[in-house]
Structure formats: structure tokens, C-alpha cells
Amino acid sequence: MGKRNLTRRQFVATVTAGAGTIFLGNMVSGTPAAIKPVTFDPFQKVTLGKTGIKTTLLGMGTGFSGYMRSSNITRAGVAEAMIRTAYEKGIRYFDCADSYGTHPFAAAALKGISRENYVLGTKMWVTEGGIPEKERPDSAVVVDRFRKELNTDYIDLVQLHCMTTGDWSDQQKRFMDGLENLKVKKVIGAHGVSVHSFDALKTASDSPWVDVIHVRINPFGEAMDRRDPSLVAPVIEKFHKSGKGVIGMKLIGGGALKDDSGKIGASLKYVLGLGAVDMIIIGFEKPEQIDDYVERIRKVQVV
């Protein structure tokens, strides 16, 4: 049998499996050897599954409390400044959506920066509500509008926004087929979904169409698809193992945990420690929040 090469994390997981912990000791002295913890750089380059899309571990969400083409940062009049500040501080992923109304602000904030230096993700609202119009044009029409609003020839990632039913992949096949055609034409780099129910999450985990998914995850069950994160984590692991890109959102429970420093730290450690989330997005509203999360991520240590 050939020698099996394990990553450090796989090795640690292997030797700690079973009824108890196996201590790795010095064979001469019998003194256990220290295991160096895993640390994280918020600006380290990550790849979203098998898509080939490379970006930073920490991304900026632009849709905190977003609906009907507005969000907290657009209503406060700081959207353009916040996106530009996030870029200048080192963030390279910007999560937009039609329902957030942040496309033109992202275009203005990133004007003059080489397109290959940042990643744009956005989302189509295809169900009722969410955007002012009742009409839901085909994907090609919608994405063409998105490209004009974002002032870009291509969009790295386009997702179906806020899927809530277990049969969404049947209901939204028209839009899915349209996005696949755009991916073949290289108008978009990848497609996927953001989900807001456990049934929708499970459907996404079984769908070969999904390249990248947004998942709601934190250790406290706040604003998640199940109150018990131990039910959600295995589904996320399934995504990861199948090669799908995984973007973690709602790490602070949709704002519910934002004033609890201890829970914020615990959530970052839990989500990053899963080893199945490619990147995380936070809905920053003030520059100092970016600095705070950058330092928090750098302090996370996972064994």
C-alpha cells in the first residue's frame, strides 16, 4: 500500500478520533509535543470550490437590512465610501444584489481599479417581492442590466437570491438554464444560490447546478436555517466535499450578536474552524468595523 499524505488538519483529526485524545509524545522523554494551532489571515487568497474564482477570505456584504433596492449603507449615504474603504484596506470580494441597490455604488467605488483586482458577486431576485417590478425577465436580460449597473464586461458570480422552498430547483429552472448559458459564454464566471430555509439548503446540496452557495452559519442558531448548528454543519461539509464554493453569511446572526464581543469571537472561531467554509462576508457599515474584524480574524486559533 502506498504512503498516504495527510494535511496537518487531517492528521490532527485522525489522531484525535475515537473515544479519547491520543497524545503525540516525544518517544524518548514521553513529553507530549505541542500542536501548532491553525491561524487565519483575512486577506489570504482562497478559491471558491472548483470555480477557479480566487479572492480574500474576508469579503464585504453590501446588503445589511437590504430590500427593494436599498440597504443600511445606501440609506445612510455611505455605500460608495464604504466599498472603496474596504478595497483600500485589502478586501477583494464585494457581495451585491439587485434587491440591495448597491450595483451603481460598487461601480463608482471601484472605478479606476483594474477589473482583475477584485471579485464581484451579485444575486437575482426571481420570486415575488424583493424588487419593485413584478416582471421577472430572463437571466440574459437581467444580467445585461447588472453588467451596465456595475460597469463591467463580466460578473464573477451570479446567484438566485433567497431560495426558501425545497423545490426551488424545479421552480426556477428557466433562470438556472439562462445562467448556465451565460457561464458557457463567459459572461459570468459561476452561478449558484443563497438559501433561507433548511429544505432549500438540502436541495442545493444535491444540485449539480450549484457552483457556489451562501450559507447562514453561526454557533448560536441566530438567523439560520435551523436553530441547531450541528444540523447545518454536515450539509455545509457535503457542499465543500463535492467541490462547491461555500460563502458563510449571518455570522453575527443578521446583527443580533453585533453588540456581544464574546459571541462575535466565538462565531468567527466556530465558522473558520469548520474547515468547510471558503470565505465569509460581513455587512460593514463603518470603517472601524473592518479594522475590528480584521484583528479578530487574525487572533482566531483552531487546533
Q: What is the pLDDT of residue 32?
A: 55
Query: How many helical (H) and strand (E) elements, i.e. helices and strands, does the chain have?
Result: 11, 12
Do the beta carbons of residue 27 and residue 63 sit within 8 Å?
no
Ordered structural domains, the chain, with CATH: 40-302 (3.20.20.100)
Per-residue pLDDT tens listing for the chain (303 residues): 333 333 434 333 333 333 333 233 333 445 455 788 999 999 999 999 999 999 999 999 999 999 999 999 999 999 999 999 999 999 999 999 999 999 999 999 999 999 999 999 999 999 999 999 999 999 999 999 999 999 999 999 999 999 999 999 999 999 999 999 999 999 999 999 999 999 999 999 999 999 999 999 999 999 999 999 999 999 999 999 999 999 999 999 999 999 999 999 999 999 999 999 999 999 999 999 999 999 999 999 999
What grid cell was written down for 275? 474547515
SS (H, E, C) 229-258: HHHHHHHHHHHHHCCCEEEEECCCHHHCCC
Q: What is the pLDDT of residue 50?
A: 97
What would you report as the CA-atom Rg of the chain, rounded to the nearest whole angstrom?
20
Which residues on neighbouring strands pair with residue 45, listed in sequence order? 56
Burial track 276-301 (b if 16+ CB lie within 10 A, e otherwise): bbbbbbbbbbeeeebeebbebbeebe
Q: What is the pTM of this model?
A: 0.88
CA torsion angle for 9, 210, 205, 194 (degrees, to 10)? 90
Which region, left, alpha or beta, applies to residue 158 given φ > 0 means left and ψ of -120 to 50 means alpha?
Answer: beta
Nearest 5°: phi and psi at 59? -120, 165
Residue in 208, 49, 231 with CA at minimum distance from that of residue 216: 231
Residue with cell 442590466: 145
Dist. CA 40–CA 51, nearest whole Å: 22
